């Protein structure tokens, strides 16, 4: 681990392990007192954990199912998957008192401030960031919230009791509709459309999380309902193929053809020379600047920043949607400078 990695990597203690379903558990995690502020988060964000699996440690991203407005400690929910090295290890071995190494919270799958009516569509463990977002919105805003939640069967429903409690407390603003494959087969466009509001408002926004096939069908149902495409946001996770906790490779880029950049991270401003053949993240790390990252592959959003001045191109973008791109959000691990001067702000 490098010095820059150490400042954003911390040990979290497992306080409690909660069995949610026969194949899903929630881990309640506590940060050390000195690191509490480092783990402030927004509903919908995730942690990157280092899992000591049987064939060596691996890095995995897990959405936070806790709500920053309601819960004292962090909580992630993990569902067992066929061949899932990390998820199966956690389901089998996690216990109170053990520690897990974690990067600080990251991710851009959060409710936009301009949204009015909110629609959430989740399948399986895709409910994890969604329940965090729903709880936060019900406590902090007056928005109407609809949840459509798909599972194999009743026993597979994660947070069934918690959702029932939310309905009892906020039934005037919350609607929950379940789709069970054991009763209705795989989700269909027409079937999901029937569970959505009859006439969503013009400013309604939707947040999708689950397998890609489910999100495709859900997006089609939302289009039928009249929800604007630019108001439909997806959370996309893929397994990391790199070690998020490993030291980055040293930079080999030449500084002969370079842009100048002003980069703000956690309130600290850095003036840097940014080679036009190198991505922003590598430039920052090579200069000893502690920039956030996890996958370095363009698909997790941990290194997202806001481009305030200048232009960049991104080699890969599997995470940011049109809304985020429109307000200047970019990925540091994929950004190549096009302008001679740029201003970037990491404002997690």
SS3 labels along the chain = CCHHHHCCEEEEEEEEEEEEECCEEEEEEEECHHHHHHHCCCCCCEEEEEECCCCCCEEEEEEECCCCCCCCCEEEEEECCCCCHHHHHHHHHCCCCCEEEEECCECCCCCCCCCCCEEEEEEHHHHHHHHHHHHHHHHHCCCCEEEEEEECCHHHCCCHHHHHHHHHHHCCCEEEEEEEHHHHCCCCHHHHHHHCCCCCCCCCEEEEECCHHHHHHHHHHHHHHCCCHHHEEEECCCCCCCCCCCCCCCCCCCCCCEEEEEEEECCEEEEEEEECCCCHHHHHHHCCCCCCCCCCCCCCCCCEEEEEECCEEECCCCCCCHHHHHCCEEECCCEEECCCEEEEEECC
Q: What is the pLDDT of residue 3?
A: 41
In this predicted structure, which of 114-118, 151-155, 182-186, 208-212 has the lowest mean pLDDT?
114-118
Confidence of residue 255 (pLDDT cuts 50, 70, 90): low
C-beta atoms surrounding 277 within 10 Å: 14
Q: Is the pLDDT of residue 42 over 90?
A: yes
User: Which tokens in the block code for residue 238?
Assistant: 């893929």
Mean pLDDT (whole number) for 203-223: 95
Q: Is the pLDDT of residue 144 over 90?
A: yes
Q: Is the pLDDT confidence value at 107 over 70?
A: yes
- Tell me the average pLDDT across 58-78: 94
Confidence of residue 4 (pLDDT cuts 50, 70, 90): very low
Q: What is the mean pLDDT of residues 5-26?
A: 88
pLDDT exceeds 90 at position 74: yes
- Strand partners of residue 147: 120, 176
Overall size of the chain counted in residues: 348
| 31 or 115: which leads in pLDDT | 31
* pLDDT tens profile 288-303: 898 888 888 887 888 9
Q: Is the pLDDT of residue 98 over 70?
A: yes
Please state the rounded mean pLDDT for residues 302-324: 90
How many CB atoms neighbour CB 281 within 10 A?
A: 22
Single pTM value for the model: 0.85
Q: What percent of the chain has pLDDT over 70?
A: 93
Rounded to an integer, the average pLDDT of 78-99 is 92
| pLDDT category of residue 1 using cuts at 50, 70 and 90 | very low
In whole angstroms, give the CA distance from residue 166 to residue 206.
Answer: 19
pLDDT at position 302, please? 84
pLDDT confidence of residue 343: 97
Q: Is the per-residue pLDDT at 135 higher than 70?
A: yes
**Looking at per-residue confidence, does 119 or 291 come out higher?**
119
Confidence of residue 5 (pLDDT cuts 50, 70, 90): very low
Output the pLDDT for position 6: 45
Split at pLDDT 50, 70, 90, the class of 94 is very high
Which pLDDT value is given to residue 125?
94
The mean pLDDT of 11-32, rounded to a whole number, is 96
- pLDDT for the residue numbered 320: 86
- Is 85 a residue whose pLDDT tops 90? no
CB 20 within 8 A of CB 87: no
Q: Would you say residue 339 has pLDDT above 60?
A: yes
153: Cβ contacts below 8 Å, ≥ 6 apart: 180, 181, 182
Q: Is it the case that residue 7 has pLDDT exceeding 80?
A: no
């Amino acid at each position: 681990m490098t010095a820059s990695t150490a400042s954003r990597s911390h040990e979290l203690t497992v306080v409690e392990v909660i069995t949610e379903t026969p194949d899903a558990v929630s881990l309640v995690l506590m940060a050390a007192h000195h690191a509490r502020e480092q783990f402030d988060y927004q509903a919908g964000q995730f942690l990157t954990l280092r899992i000591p699996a049987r064939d060596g440690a691996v890095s995995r991203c897990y959405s936070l199912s806790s709500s920053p407005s309601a819960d004292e400690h962090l909580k992630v929910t993990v569902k067992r998957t066929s061949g899932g090295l990390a998820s199966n290890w956690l389901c089998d071995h996690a216990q109170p008192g053990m520690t897990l190494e974690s990067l600080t919270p990251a991710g851009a799958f959060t409710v936009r401030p301009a949204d009015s009516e909110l629609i959430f569509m989740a399948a399986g463990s895709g409910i994890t960031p969604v329940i965090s977002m729903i709880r936060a919105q019900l406590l902090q805003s007056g928005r109407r919230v609809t949840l459509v939640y798909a599972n194999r069967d009743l026993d597979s429903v994660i947070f069934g009791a918690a959702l029932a409690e939310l309905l009892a407390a906020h039934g005037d603003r919350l609607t929950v509709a379940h789709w069970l494959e054991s009763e209705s087969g795989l989700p269909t466009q027409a079937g999901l459309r029937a569970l959505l509001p009859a006439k969503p408002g013009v400013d309604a926004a939707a947040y999708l999380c689950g397998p890609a096939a489910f999100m495709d069908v859900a997006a089609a149902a939302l289009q039928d309902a009249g929800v604007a495409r630019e108001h439909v946001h997806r959370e996309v996770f893929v397994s990391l193929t790199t070690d998020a906790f490993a030291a980055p490779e040293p930079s080999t880029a030449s500084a002969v053809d370079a842009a100048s950049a002003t980069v703000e991270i956690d309130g600290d401003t850095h003036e840097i020379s940014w080679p036009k053949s190198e991505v922003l993240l590598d430039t920052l790390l090579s200069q000893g600047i502690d920039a956030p990252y996890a996958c370095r592959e363009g698909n997790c959003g941990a290194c997202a920043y806001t481009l305030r001045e200048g232009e960049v191109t991104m080699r890969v973008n599997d995470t940011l949607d049109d809304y985020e791109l429109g307000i200047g959000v970019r990925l540091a691990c994929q950004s190549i400078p096009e302008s001679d001067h740029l201003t970037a702000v990491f404002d997690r």
